[in-house]
Amino acid sequence: MTTKTNRLARREFLGFALVAATGLASTSLISAPAIAAPRGPGRRAIAFHHTHTGESIDLVYWADGKYLPDATHRITRVLRDFRNNDMHPIDPKLLDTLAALRAKLRTNAPYMVIGGYRSPETNEMLRATTEGVAGNSLHMVGKAIDLRLPDRSLVTVKRAATAMKLGGVGYYPSSDFVHVDVGPVRKW
């Protein structure tokens, strides 16, 4: 019994040490200096304007084969739940999908963001007041965004996103946005 107890205690210690080391590493990465990488080949950039907060961001988020921690943190801040200011990391695959969509549409215009991350509380409130809000929405895990582009029609954005087959695409013309996520490929 002592050997089993020792193994369990060792696993708990190692698990705690791993979590602590990861936390220290991510803390030091988040405090990295501002992005100085110029746009160009081998770099991925994104631009957002949040329609509810008025915040805008236009930056390189990936360069030299890696995601830039300061940039992804700034994106997380802009795409937070604007109703309660809760934040959740945005899935890098979503950023890559959005960068690819802008390239496919041949635009440098910022995405007009209707909603990015959505806290569980906000999601429940919306489910109670709005038709079609999923209980297990990918917005709650940073894998979905509702948006439009100022220089492209909504139907053009929907068609391009659907053709890419990189996740889900929802078309909401009466609310003037397209939903894009990095879940299973589907459309509605």
pLDDT in tens, 125-174: 999 998 878 989 999 999 999 999 999 999 999 999 999 999 999 999 99
Domain boundaries, the chain: 1-31, 36-187
Express each pLDDT in 102-125 by its tens digit: 999 999 999 999 999 999 999 999
> 36-187 maps to which CATH number?
3.30.1380.10
Does position 23 have pLDDT exceeding 90, yes or no?
no
Does position 28 have pLDDT exceeding 80, yes or no?
no
Q: Residue 174: which of 154, 156, 188, 159 has the closest Cα?
A: 154
Is 34 strand, coil or helix?
A: coil
For 78-82, what is the mean pLDDT? 98
| 5 or 41, higher pLDDT | 41
pTM for the complete prediction? 0.78
On the 0-12 / 13-18 / 19+ scale of CB atoms within 10 A, 14 is: exposed
**Mean pLDDT in the chain?**
85
